[in-house]
């Protein structure tokens, strides 16, 4: 299953934001174990570089970006994505771009703590805790509820 992980979930990891960091860490671990294929929107990386550079040394921020590039695939932001986003009924253009990128990349879900802003998304948005609840620890891979 392909999931697109929203910027806020990635920030939960790098900024160790409580009480969200544990769920975010488990999602990252699932990607690392290849239980799910993780995607990040291309715009997420530029936003993360900007935000992380404000809260840590620039070289550490770039190291974080490189680690994300090793772990996640990138959902492209191209003309088709931007056109879809510009025609979207979603209120926030940045969220619409992320949703359109997820759609074009074939993501089954957008994992975000901001689900209300994705109610009109072409890809279903789900909270990290809800997403993790669909993978009981003792269930064999492939028996998820989605």
Return the domain boundaries, the chain.
2-132
- The answer to whether the beta carbons of residues 96 and 81 sit under 8 Å apart is no
Q: Which H helix or E strand runs over 3?
A: strand 2-5
DSSP assignment, residue 6?
P
Q: What is the pLDDT along the chain (146 residues), one digit of tens a residue?
A: 999 999 999 999 999 999 999 999 999 999 999 999 999 999 999 999 999 999 889 999 999 999 999 999 999 999 999 999 999 999 999 999 999 999 999 999 999 999 999 999 999 999 999 999 998 766 555 545 44
* pTM of full prediction above 0.85: yes
Residue 143: the pLDDT is 45
In CATH terms, is domain 2-132 a member of 3.40.50.1010? yes
Residue 55: the pLDDT is 87
Question: Could you check whether the bond before residue 19 is cis, i.e. omega within 30 degrees of 0?
Answer: yes
């Amino acid at each position: 299953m392909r999931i697109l992980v929203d910027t806020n979930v990635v920030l939960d990891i790098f900024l160790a934001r409580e009480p969200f960091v544990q769920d975010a860490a488990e999602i990252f671990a699932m990607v690392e174990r290849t239980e799910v294929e993780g995607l990040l929107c291309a715009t997420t990386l530029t936003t993360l570089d900007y935000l992380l550079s404000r809260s840590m040394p620039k070289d550490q921020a770039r190291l974080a970006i490189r680690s994300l590039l090793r772990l996640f695939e990138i959902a492209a932001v191209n003309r088709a994505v931007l056109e879809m986003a510009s025609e979207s009924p979603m209120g926030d253009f940045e969220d619409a771009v992320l949703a359109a990128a997820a759609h074009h990349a074939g993501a089954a879900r957008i994992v975000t703590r901001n689900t209300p802003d994705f109610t009109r998304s072409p890809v279903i948005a789900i909270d990290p805790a809800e997403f993790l609840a669909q993978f009981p620890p003792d269930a064999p891979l492939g028996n998820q509820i989605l």
